[in-house]
Chain A
């Protein structure tokens, strides 16, 4: 039961923090003001992340022998787990405060808060234990994933508002920026994988490998969606079909849902399995 709570808490940290930080980072790269729905996503994501961090720490303490034992709490919180929790909570507070600040200051404080939270992914875990370089790669990786989530939410909003000109413009910018992001994500992800399994491919033949398989299944679902878009949706958009935005909206939502599945699977995988 505690294991299940640990997975849920971790998944909520991933989803909440990456959504909040991603909304900020994508607004920054698209030159869009942090307003309206983006503000709501930042507040909601930060709130979910903060609560999940607290629950996650309590669950961890319980699994270590006692959630209310000061000695255990001290031993845990004075290490990387505590540092990560501190960064996550500090980030959530900063991002939430940013949403009530004037526009110029808001962007600065929100970006600082978002990056602070993303650093939390880099200070704890095997990558952090492996050295500064892998930890840095995790930070970059988290930034890229967060941006991607935030950008999809921007697309989702644009589709809902059905402003064809702005949607088309946003789509073009998304594709342009995402090309750079995907190449970076590939490079960072590949290097991280090699570093973390220490170059020993046989470590993938395990429950760890099964977790990877499950994740790749979710990825396969996204591919199926992409094929559908290529074959059905793209021609309609090119032909100026007024209902194309609606179809795009549906697909963006499905992609976001699949990302949520991937992140949840990652939470379970990294919590419950080991290649050793």
Chain B
């Protein structure tokens, strides 16, 4: 039954074409995740390794309600700025989400501690991004 053999070969061909997705990753975060600062930074800049669309950033602080932060630009870019995050004293976790170039959802978090009595300590390399699932 040649028709069936051909059909089976088509299945193999289908499986061979399965795509491998490379999600966008953060290249740098300024100030870096893990930083301890005496006051809230004026801005937080998140830079990806390729163009993406950052869609949300929410700051989660101890004892405070989650607060949505403004991100610019709103469209496709490699670098995004969170203006005036107004982080409160203590531990702040900024959870962000983005649509990567290949259409997958990526997300991560940035932890910044605000301690008015501390010297500024910027973490070396801790962008804290992790890939979420696809779209």
Count: A-B pairs, CB below 8 Å: 197
The answer to whether the Cβ of B102 comes within 8 Å of any Cβ in the partner chain is yes
Contact B105 A269 (CB under 8 A): no
List the B side residues contacting A71 at CB < 8 Å. 55, 74
- Scan A115-153; emit 1 where CB is below 8 A from any B CB, else 0: 000000000111111000000001001001100100010
Interface size range of chain A in the complex: 35 or more
Give the segment of B8-16, B34-42, B84-92, B115-123 that binds chain A. Answer: B8-16
- Scan A79-91; emit 1 where CB is below 8 A from any B CB, else 0: 1110010000000
- Quick one: given A175-B3, A222-B8, are A65 and B97 in contact (CB under 8 Å)? yes
8 Å CB contact of B55 from A65, A138, A218: A65
Task: Tell me the chain A residues, 233-268 only, with Cβ under 8 Å from chain B.
Answer: 233-234, 237, 248, 251, 255, 258-259, 262, 266
List the A side residues contacting B25 at CB < 8 Å. 276
- Scan B5-24; emit 1 where CB is below 8 A from any A CB, else 0: 11111111111111111110
**Interface residue count on the B side (C-beta < 8 Å):** 46
List the A side residues contacting B75 at CB < 8 Å. 75, 78-79
Contact A185 B55 (CB under 8 A): no
How far is B133's CA from A238's CA once the two chains are assembled, in angstroms?
A: 50
Contact B16 A189 (CB under 8 A): yes
Contact A178 B18 (CB under 8 A): no
The answer to whether the Cβ of A171 comes within 8 Å of any Cβ in the partner chain is yes
How far is B2's CA from A3's CA once the two chains are assembled, in angstroms?
A: 40
Task: Tell me the chain A residues, 11-67 only, with Cβ under 8 Å from chain B.
Answer: 56, 60, 63-66
The answer to whether the Cβ of A203 comes within 8 Å of any Cβ in the partner chain is yes
The answer to whether the Cβ of A6 comes within 8 Å of any Cβ in the partner chain is yes
List the A side residues contacting B17 at CB < 8 Å. 138, 141, 185, 188-189, 192-193
List the B side residues contacting A78 at CB < 8 Å. 75
8 Å CB contact of B5 from A226, A271, A273: A226
Q: Which B residues contact A (CB, under 8 angstroms)?
A: 1-23, 25, 50, 53-56, 58, 74-76, 97-99, 101-105, 131-135
Q: List 30 A-B contacts (CB under 8 A).
A: A6-B134, A56-B135, A60-B135, A63-B133, A76-B53, A79-B76, A84-B103, A125-B103, A126-B22, A127-B19, A128-B102, A129-B103, A144-B10, A175-B6, A178-B10, A185-B17, A186-B9, A186-B12, A193-B17, A196-B20, A212-B15, A215-B15, A216-B15, A219-B8, A226-B7, A230-B5, A262-B14, A270-B18, A274-B23, A274-B131
